[in-house]
Amino acid sequence: MVVIGVCILAVLAGLVATASWGGLTVQPPHVPAPEGAGPDDPPPVQLVVRRFVWDVNLAVAAGIGAGVMAAGAGGRLVMRLLAVTSGDDAQGRITEANEVVGRISADGTIGFVVFTALFFGSATGGAYLLVRRWLPAGRAGGLTFGALLLVLAGTRLEPLREGNPDFDLVGPGWVSVVAFAALVLFHGMLVAALAGRISRAVPLLGREPRAIAAHAPLLLLAPLVPVVIALVVLGALVVLVTRARPVVAAWHARRLRPAGQVVLALLALASLPGFLSAVASILGRG
């Protein structure tokens, strides 16, 4: 009961954060242009690196925060709900993750939350920062992001993966679909809310102790050596791209916003048949 209580408190904290900060947009720190620099001059390399590190830190902080409160704690509560609604035949059965249906342990919950927050959470935080400029303003942006996560990844990765044998154990199917779909939407909205709030509190990395401490979430990536290497390579590419004025001008062009929105809409439409097919399959199981 203690584990369930902690999960409920975490989800409630996420709901409060979403309600309080859901209308905030990401606000990068303002940095005055270097003296003598023209409007078309590329930014200094040092500034590009600091902004890239700031973006990565924001993605990690917002994504892992949402991963703990929504995908992690919320996912554990959904699993408990499905164990209760599955009936006596499912109790004691072993799931795909080698968990026992109907049994919620502290160790299993901590492992699930940490894994979910670190990998799924940080990935969704990065995805939000990449697509946020093409999302609607305000709370609709977080809801749209959650819907994109659900349609594009929800049935191909988790939590509504059609090939997951657990849907043959727990159910009914409509409870699984409704609960997990709501959880993904909640997670997307919470990522957006946390990103908007944290962006207003974290300065660019500098020598000041406050700026260094504000980037502490980056330490969570230290054990993930391949991810760190990929980010270093990506950062180097970002620096090179900012040296090309035509590329920078095209990125900031107003016409890129509707073009990006069209691309996201087309991706969602292309993924919709597969999403609906997977949902239909799950509804018939469990």
Q: How many other CB atoms are found less than 10 A from the CB of residue 10?
A: 19
Q: Which of 143-147, 177-181, 231-235, 258-262 has the lowest mean pLDDT?
A: 258-262
Asked whether residue 32 is assigned to any structural domain, the reply reads no
Single pTM value for the model? 0.91
Over 60: is that where the pLDDT of 286 sits?
Answer: no
Which residues are CB-neighbours of 17 under 8 A, at least 6 positions away?
Answer: 69, 190, 193, 194, 197
Asked whether residue 19 is assigned to any structural domain, the reply reads no
Under DSSP, is residue 94 helix (H, G, I), strand (E, B) or coil? strand
Phi and psi based region of residue 34 (left: phi greater than 0; alpha: psi -120 to 50; beta: remaining): beta
Identify whether the C-beta of residue 231 lies closer than 8 Å to the C-beta of residue 125. Answer: no
Asked whether residue 192 is assigned to any structural domain, the reply reads yes
For residue 136, the cross-strand partners are: none
Asked whether residue 141 is assigned to any structural domain, the reply reads yes
> Which residues constitute the domain of residue 227?
2-14+46-283
Residue 50 has what pLDDT? 93
pLDDT tens figures, 2-20: 888 999 999 999 999 999 9
**Domain count of the chain?**
1
Asked whether residue 97 is assigned to any structural domain, the reply reads yes
Chain-wide mean pLDDT for the chain? 88
pLDDT tens figures, 152-204: 999 998 898 988 888 887 878 899 999 999 999 999 999 999 999 999 999 99
CA–CA separation, 192 and 98 (whole Å): 33
CA–CA separation, 228 and 236 (whole Å): 12
Asked whether residue 24 is assigned to any structural domain, the reply reads no
Over 70: is that where the pLDDT of 47 sits?
Answer: yes
Residue 118 has what pLDDT? 87
Which of 67-71, 113-117, 169-173 reaches the highest mean pLDDT? 67-71
pLDDT tens figures, 223-243: 889 999 999 999 999 999 888
Q: At what angle do helices 256-283 and 173-199 cross, to 10 degrees?
A: 150
* Dihedrals phi, psi of 143, to nearest 5 degrees: -65, -40
Asked whether residue 27 is assigned to any structural domain, the reply reads no
Residue 34 has what pLDDT? 64
Residue 59 has what pLDDT? 96
Over 70: is that where the pLDDT of 282 sits?
Answer: yes
Asked whether residue 89 is assigned to any structural domain, the reply reads yes
Which residues are CB-neighbours of 283 under 8 A, at least 6 positions away?
Answer: 173, 174, 177
Side-chain half-sphere CA neighbours of 217 within 13 A: 22
DSSP code per residue over 191-206: HHHHHHHHHTT-PPS-
Identify whether the C-beta of residue 173 lies closer than 8 Å to the C-beta of residue 285. Answer: yes
Residue 26 structure tokens: 């990401």
